[in-house]
Structure 1
Amino acid sequence: MPFFLQTSRMSRIKDRHRLVLQHVVILIFLTQSCGGQHQMIGPTQPVVAMIGDDIILPCHLEPAVDAVDLTVDWSRKDLKPRSVYVRREGVELLTEQNPLYTGRTSLSVNKLQCGDVSLKLSTVQLSDAGTYKCLVPKFNAETVVTLAVGSVSSPVIELTNVKNKMVLECKSNGWYPEPQMLWVYSEGKPISVEPTKIVRGSDGLYTVSSKVTVEKGQSYSFTCKVQQKNISQIKETHIHVSGDLFMVQSNTAVHIIINLAVCLISVGTVIFVIWKCGQKKTGKFKLHSTFYPNLKLSSDLFNVLF
């Protein structure tokens, strides 16, 4: 075979080997690249839950992949042990779980098949507030989810007469995080507002109160508002006080007190009437006994007379 033909043939073989090698390199690169493309998607804003709620901490793989048999790890770095929930090869590892979360965490198998590894947390507690890490080690994919825990209650206004003035106290307990309290009132009326008192109980919840003093003989409309911006919660109650101290209030204890007084008066009236009737019957019996001492009344006659 001529030399130039051998050279040409060897050149073609080298080119073919080089092309195959390039394809192999590209395939390896694409495989690794596709594996690294999996990302963990979580919420961009904190998840807000009230104490006692059942909530979902969102987390899912993108693009979606069946994660039923994958390792899924939820944790908090501020805890010891850190594990909130661990699942490996389809089995929950309860021995690695922090005792604070015993019996309160779970994943949905149906959602896992679609790459959704969101964590369900039941009966939220104040101590659950914090930053959680969601991790699937196979793809080195992770994200963080922040949980904000709150507690709220409606405020109540109580009234007290002090000489020629009247004191309105607004109070609300069982809040978390620490809230703000403010009064909104009709314009042009001079009032004196005391600084808000804030007390934190042994349960970690806050009680807030504030007093307003007004002159008697004038009409006022008040709104007591309690708000917590971090958990986007606002609670309020309204009251109208007229010049003759007649109060029209919504969502406070005043209606309860008035209704209770009415009930007590009604019960007292009924008891008095029954007592008077008893006195009359007793007197009538004595009258018959006096005028007819030897008369024996049958039960039927007695019933007719009385």
Structure 2
Amino acid sequence: MECSDIGYATLACYHPGGEMQRRMIACLCLASVLTFSSGYPRNMYDAVIHQDVTLSWNTLSELDLKNDAVAIRSTEDADVIHLVKGRPEVFPPFDGRVQLLTDGFPSGLVALKMDNVSIQDSGVYMCLVDKPLYIHPGLCHLKVRAPWSAVRKTNKSMGGGMYSLFCETEGYPLAPVVWTGGRGQNLTDWAELTTSITSEQLISVVSRLNVSISSSSSYTCTVTDDRGVSQHATFDFPDKEKSRNHYLFLIAAVLLVGVVVMLLFRYDKLSHRDGTEAQPSSGSSRAPQNPEDHGRAL
């Protein structure tokens, strides 16, 4: 006799002849008590792409590494790993990335270590044990996420004061992109969103907003995941009139500095020339003013 899929539990009972009806009732009573055992630490797992995660099941019965057969499968009927008489067999695409931890077998604990998880690993996993009396320990739900990358921003002038603003980022699962103006007004309805899938199954989003720039303004695009973690980028456009006056002031300041430097250089040059003309030559000697003085000196 087999009792299977009673609630969330799977109970297998094997009996010889005679007392089948009484044992059947016993199986149903046991299943009602142990339906969907929650003895394992968690059944919901939230992992980050490229990190490691360990899924755990508590079978509520002692496991023998050498005699019991254990299998981990996804609910999509994809085999992950089988352990038969202590020998593991791993199936693609999990080969080289998963390991069945057997340290907890004496207490009925089965653990699957998954390395370098990817978005494709997201799903629901079950643990099956080939024993005459076995309670299905429930399902492990694995959700692999990829945090959204820093937003890359670009803008393109379309002429006439019109600009196209672009925000680009990648992550998983899909998250909304919200545009706001400098005064906090929501501009998302005027934005255009384009999505694509990367080689790692991440979602790449490009959000475009067309704006008309006539005065000082700013625009911000923000992407927020389901945990409330945000990435954003801001476009700042200064006031054109103020910017023009600022540039004119800088040009005037540069010209003024140039004139001052030129005047100082010219003044220094003139001073140097006047000093040279006033100094007597080093090779000349003073001649006596009177012949008598010359004779007296002799």
Q: Shift of residue 132 of structure 1? A: 1.0
Distance 1:37 1:243, change over 3 A: closer
Map 1:4-83 onto structure 2 (within 5 A).
Answer: 40-41=37-38, 42=40, 46-62=44-60, 65=62, 68-69=65-66, 70-79=68-77, 82-83=78-79
* TM-score using structure 1 length: 0.55
Structure 2 residue aligned with 1:106 = 99
Larger Rg: 2
Map 1:137-176 onto structure 2 (within 5 A).
Answer: 137-138=130-131, 139-142=133-136, 143-151=138-146, 152-163=148-159, 164-173=161-170, 175-176=171-172
Q: Shift of residue 180 of structure 1? A: 2.3
1:122 aligns with 2:115: yes
Structure 2 residue aligned with 1:131 = 124
Q: Is the 8 A contact 1:223 1:237 kept in 2?
A: yes
Distance 1:39 1:104, change over 3 A: same
* TM-score using structure 2 length: 0.57
Q: Shift of residue 125 of structure 1? A: 2.4
Structure 2 residue aligned with 1:198 = 195
In 2: Cα distance, 1:190 partner to 1:140 partner: 57
Structure 2 residue aligned with 1:236 = 231
In 1: Cα distance, 2:235 partner to 2:30 partner: 69
Question: Number of matched residues?
Answer: 207
* 3-state SS of 1:127 partner: helix
Report the AA paired with residue 224 of structure 1.
C
Query: Which ranges of structure 2 fall in alignment gaps of 5 or more residues?
Result: 1-21, 241-298
Report the AA paired with residue 123 of structure 1.
N
Report the AA paired with residue 72 of structure 1.
V
If each structure's helix is expressed as a fraction of its own residues, which one has the higher value?
1
Q: Shift of residue 106 of structure 1? A: 1.3
Report the AA paired with residue 180 of structure 2.
V
* 3-state SS of 2:183 partner: coil
Structure 2 residue aligned with 1:218 = 215
1:88 aligns with 2:84: yes
Q: Shift of residue 210 of structure 1? A: 1.3
Report the AA paired with residue 155 of structure 1.
V
Query: Which ranges of structure 1 fall in alignment gaps of 5 or more residues?
Result: 1-24, 246-306
Q: Shift of residue 147 of structure 1? A: 1.8
Q: Shift of residue 217 of structure 1? A: 4.6
Identity of counterpart residues, as a percentage? 21
Q: Shift of residue 84 of structure 1? A: 0.9
In 2: Cα distance, 1:205 partner to 1:144 partner: 25
Q: Shift of residue 83 of structure 1? A: 2.4
